[in-house]
């Protein structure tokens, strides 16, 4: 029997017979996971951290973040706390819909103008077929046509309502492609699939009095770093990675598609023809003013969101009835909060201290030691600035020798 047809237990048996040691997993958990993916043999756990006070458009949120990097959650809390003292973030989302793309090969005598009269009828017919989506406020919004030589490009804008909408958009496109294939002059369908090209863009802003970040010199340095990120792709990609640290962590926590957002953000950062920073900071009237615009094709229903208990718990933290637009505003605000914290760290004490603390955490986690011993080893690593596994082992040996000596 093929591997994918085996039960998850038999797949695990198959691996164990190869001499691979697998960690124990609850049988019910294993079967639940098997419903979500393919060839499931186990699970990978990640911690859920919390941003306690994110103020967006006058409303406070507690925001779950899924990441194994402690400094990402710490930075988000730091940046969010600073901005909260300044009155919070303001955010708005353009959620017109998701673009889908149908490409057909056409005959030499095909005239794209002949199709235009059909478009209103096609939109009406498609929306009638997907009445449930329309009843939730979504549906096909418009169709654009372009012919290049023997190829017809059909762009379809679909409003997915509160869902991410990928599967729904693809179903709509397949239906429309079948209709178009019957049109005179169309030879064959090449593909009909959604595009991850940037859409549903969210913009968030913050204005922070300079005394909240250490004064005018720190503010000027942050503005200079921001300008370098606008001009230099090498700096821009690292700046954007820091933004995506926060964005991805909330996307994971809310069951959204990190890959779609990452792909769209990559294109969005290059929209001028040169890769540049997604954020921008400037000085205005004794305030450090920041702006971040990113595409966020997200949802609060559909996909695996409703079927995953861990994700549903995160929505209870955020607010059960949170709308997709609100969530997009929150995610963008977290991204800008992380960006502010990173730029502030670079402008003052440097960013490496937080990273090395994370390294120390990873070292002590892997030690075969008690919780009390790990706590002491962690502090010794930080105090002595020795961040190797061998140093951790040596510190553990030292404290055990000290404890044994004190007993004797």
Q: Spot the catalytic one: 69, 159, 248, 325.
A: 69
Has 257 been annotated as catalytic? yes
Q: Spot the catalytic one: 257, 325, 374, 380.
A: 257
Has 136 been annotated as catalytic? no
Has 262 been annotated as catalytic? no
Q: For residues 371 and 357, what is the distance between their CA atoms, to the nearest angstrom?
A: 17
Q: Spot the catalytic one: 155, 189, 355, 386.
A: 355
Has 355 been annotated as catalytic? yes
Q: Spot the catalytic one: 85, 114, 146, 241.
A: 241
| Chain Cα centroid distance, residue 116 | 38
Torsion angle, alpha carbons of 305, 307, 310, 316, to 10: 60
SS3 string of the chain? CCHHHCCHHHHHHHHHCCCCCCCCCCHHHHHHHHCCCCCCCCCCCCCEEEEEEEEECCEEEEEEEECCCHHHHHHHHHHHHHHHHCCCEEEEECCCCEEEEEEEEECCCCCCHHHHCCHHHHHHHHHHHCHHHHHCCCEEEEEEEEEECCEEEEEEEEECCCECCHHHHHHHHHHHHHHHCCCCCEEEEEEEEECCCCCCEEEEEEEEEHHHHCCHHHHHHHHHHHHHHHHCHHHHHHHHHHHHHHHHHHHHHCCCCHHHHHHHHHHHCCCCCCCCCCEEEEEECCEEEEEEEEECCCCCECCCCCCCHHHHHHHHHHCCCCCHHHHHHHHHHHHHHHHHHHHHHHHCCCCHHHHHHHHHHHHHHCCCCCHHHHHHHHHHHHHHCCCCHHHHHHHHHHHHHHHHHHHC
Residues in Cβ contact with 76 at an 8 Å cutoff, skipping those fewer than 6 apart: 51, 63, 65, 246, 249, 334, 337, 338, 341
Active site residue ranges: 69, 241, 257, 355
């Amino acid at each position: 029997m093929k591997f994918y047809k085996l039960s998850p237990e038999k797949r695990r048996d198959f691996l164990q017979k190869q001499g691979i040691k697998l960690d124990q997993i609850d049988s019910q958990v294993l079967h639940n996971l098997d419903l979500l993916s393919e060839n499931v043999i186990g699970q990978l756990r990640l911690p859920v951290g919390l941003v306690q006070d994110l103020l967006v458009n006058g409303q406070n949120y507690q925001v779950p973040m899924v990441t194994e990097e402690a400094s990402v959650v710490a930075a988000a809390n730091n940046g969010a706390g600073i901005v909260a003292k300044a009155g919070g973030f303001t955010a708005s989302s353009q959620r017109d819909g998701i673009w889908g793309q149908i490409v057909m090969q056409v005959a030499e005598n095909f005239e794209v103008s002949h199709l235009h009269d059909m478009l209103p009828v096609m939109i009406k017919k498609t929306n009638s077929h997907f009445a449930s989506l329309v009843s939730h406020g979504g549906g096909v919004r418009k169709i654009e046509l372009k012919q290049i030589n023997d190829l017809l490009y059909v762009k379809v804008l679909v409003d997915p309502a509160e869902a991410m909408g990928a599967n729904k958009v693809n179903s709509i496109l397949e239906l429309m492609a079948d209709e178009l294939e019957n049109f005179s002059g169309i030879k064959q369908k090449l593909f009909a699939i959604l595009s991850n090209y940037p859409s549903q863009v969210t913009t968030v802003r913050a204005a922070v009095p300079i005394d909240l970040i250490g004064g005018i010199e720190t503010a000027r340095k942050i503005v200079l770093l921001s300008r370098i990120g606008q001009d230099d792709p090498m700096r821009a990609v690292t700046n954007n990675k820091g933004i995506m640290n926060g964005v991805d962590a909330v996307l994971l926590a809310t069951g959204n598609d990190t890959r779609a957002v990452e792909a769209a953000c990559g294109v969005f950062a290059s929209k001028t023809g040169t890769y540049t920073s997604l954020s921008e900071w400037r000085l205005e009237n004794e305030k450090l003013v920041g702006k971040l615009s990113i595409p966020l094709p997200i949802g609060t229903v559909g996909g695996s969101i409703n079927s995953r208990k861990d994700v549903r718990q995160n929505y209870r933290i955020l607010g059960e009835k949170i709308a997709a637009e609100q969530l997009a505003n929150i995610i963008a605000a977290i991204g800008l909060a992380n960006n502010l914290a990173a730029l502030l760290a670079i402008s003052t004490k440097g960013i490496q201290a937080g990273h090395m603390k994370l390294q120390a955490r990873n070292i002590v986690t892997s030690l075969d030691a008690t919780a009390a011993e790990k706590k002491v080893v962690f502090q010794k690593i930080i105090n002595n600035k020795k961040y190797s596994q061998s140093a951790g082992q040596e510190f553990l040996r030292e404290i055990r020798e000290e404890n044994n000596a004190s007993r004797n």
